[in-house]
Chains A and B, each alone.
Chain A
Amino acid sequence: MMLLLRELKIMLRSPAGAIQSLMFSVLVIALFPLAITPDPDQLEPLGIGLIWVVTLLSCLLAADKSLAGDYADGSLEQMVLSDYPLWWVCLVKSMAHWVSCALPLLLMAPILGAMLAMPLDRIVWLMASLVLGSPILSLFCMLGAMLTVGLNQSSALLPILIAPFLVPTLILGTQWATTGGEAFYGYMLAALLCLSLVTLPFATAVVAKIAVSR
């Protein structure tokens, strides 16, 4: 709990990172109709996929920043040495990442959906799929960030490394929302979330030990 409060406090005092990833997403969504077509009939089917891709990209882009600070000032070393279980530290970092880049997008989803002429029921399914899917993105992004933190080219390496692992989530999430809640996709997405929740923090913890010994 103490760890989570610290993350939120740091985030609130330097909100530039969260605002930047939200601005990126809103801009992409706003520019899309201008570049492709303002015709609602053509835009509407693109909406779900577009907002999902934007969510995925903004999670990826924010990932390396979410750990760089802790690595540079030595907090990460101290967390590894602490009495707290390391998997819990990693889970908290993933939650903080989710709050800073996926949550603002989730809250903005009705407005973004309206900008792409999506009807209300599709927006609701989109948000449901983001609720289930975006935590998986954050868990994977934290694993990638931990793998590349402290390396010179981390921001270039991270997306290449992690993007393939995000594709199943993207497919299941968009399919679930597009089909209006077909049970198969929903169950698969929920199963993927449970699986990542119980495995990825432990994997990230192993990687964290390697990261601090570099």
Chain B
Amino acid sequence: MNLHFVKKAAALLTLLLPLAFSSPAQAEVRIDITRGVVEPIPIAIPAFYGAGGNEAQFGRDIAKVVTADLVRSGLFSAVDPKSFIQDRDSLLVAPRFADWRVLNAQSLVVGRIEAQADGRLKVEFRLWDVFGEQQMTGLAYFTIPNNWRRVAHIVADAIYKRITGEEGYFDTRIVYVAESGPGTARVKRLAIMDQDGENHRILSDGRALVLTPRFSPTLQEITYMAYYNNRPRVYLFNIDTGRQEVLGDFENMTFAPRFAPDGNKVIFSLSKGGNSDIYTMDVRTRKVAQITNSPSINTAPSFSPDGKQITFESDRGGSQQVYTMSANGSDVKRISFGDGRYATPVWSPRGDLIAFTKQQGGRFYIGVMRPDGTGERLLTEAYHVEGPTWAPNGRVLMYFKDIPSGPGGRVKQAHLYSIDLTGFNEREVQTPMDASDPAWSPLIP
């Protein structure tokens, strides 16, 4: 009898158990969002608060530089300061998020400058998520007042990194070839400036023709090709000391130099009897290694960020194309297969893309493709555009364009441009004179 009852109860439970687990009391809606918009994030950056007149001026200047950096990236738009509702004194206590939400600001930067007893400035800021009503980050820096511009770039980098997840690139410099004079007697000098065009400086005297400068990852050195006494050779230049030296005493022409990611080696081309091959040289020991050995032109080498691979251009297949190989020269693969000619490949510091110059149908293009050659996209085109260089975060490219002007378009004006790798936000980079061959520095440590 007892057993019978237990059996019955068990049967009943077996029937009821699935019911207890199956039907959820709360239905849940699932929505897949596969389409969105691509537009700049509105950010409000009021002048950083400063108690004294001097501090207040720094506060205004720093906010201006931070705003300009972020807006130039194309990923942010500045909310007009004239529309701000909350005053700066109450802002120091806490943001009134509703006041910023109505302005459609998604992020808010609240900063403050304090002069220290030792003469330095303390620059601090907080980044607020207006919709989420919480602080995203808060940082403080101490600096000598003269250094305020760099601190502004560092603040902009911190904001950029916190919101996009990518490293910033505002605290960087650009080295390029400043051109002046008539076409027949063109003077090409090495010049350097902050990435926003400030602190412009000419580095070389113009007696030698300078081409293709490249930054060392350590930032103190630049390598480039120059013609001295009509001998084109690769040089090293120390920015801090102004000292210049030739890289290796080769009989033949050396050109297209670029540093390895660790800064210890320079990779370059050496031409011999109509062909050219790729070599590396240890900057300290001056030991030379030949990487390619092919009866064709092999040039424009660029290391992958991990230093394990090299991309370069070659005409070994009959036309000028982009190749990759391992760092010791083995495992050569052609990666460009589109119409036209492909040149000057540059591996992104992010590693995911290779930028290149392409010539097709009488036009020049700057494009990107994956290291396996897929996903080719052309970002910009012009009568003549060349020399792509990556921002250290691998998100932005800079290059130069020759723009025909004057009677019959005979006079060419060269200008620097930058573009987001999505292909949007192409902007001219202002330089005091004509500019070509830009090279972007790593982040300044």
Partners in one complex: no
- Residues of B near any A CB (own CB < 8 A): none
